[in-house]
Amino acid sequence: MHRGSISERLLGAHRSLIRAMKRIDLLRLIRVSARARGIVVTEREGGNHTKFTVGSVNFVVGRHRELKSWETRQILQALAREFGEGWWKSE
C-alpha cells in the first residue's frame, strides 16, 4: 500500500526543502515524470558518471548510491525547463 505521491515519499513532507536522496530514487522520479509527459530519456555511460538527456536538458549523475542535496537540487532545477517549475512537488 502506497501512501502519498512519489515526490512525498522520496523528498519528504517538506517538498520545498530538497534533501539528499538515493540515486535510484531520483532516476525513478525522472523516468516516471518524463514518461507521463511523453518526453524521451536517453542514458550514456561515461567513465565515472552516467550522462542523461531529457528532452533538451543534459546532465550527469555520479555513480554514488546517495546524491548530496546540492546535486539533487541542481538536477531538479535543470529539469524545470522541460517539466515545468516545481515539477517534483506535484509528482
Q: pLDDT tens digit string along 56-79?
A: 999 999 888 999 988 998 999 999
80 contact partners, CB below 8 Å, separation of at least 6: 86, 87
Q: Please, which pLDDT band fits residue 1 given cuts at 50, 70 and 90?
A: very low
State the virtual CA torsion across 10, 73, 67, 91 in degrees, nearest 10.
20
Q: Please, which pLDDT band fits residue 88 given cuts at 50, 70 and 90?
A: confident
List, in sequence order, every residue forming a beta bridge with 22; answer none if it has no partner: 66
Q: pLDDT tens digit string along 19-54?
A: 788 999 999 999 999 999 999 999 999 889 999 999
Tell me the DSSP string of 34-89.
HHHHT--EEEEE-SSEEEEEETTEEEEEES-SEE-HHHHHHHHHHTHHHH-TTHHH
Is the pLDDT at 5 greater than 70? The verdict is no
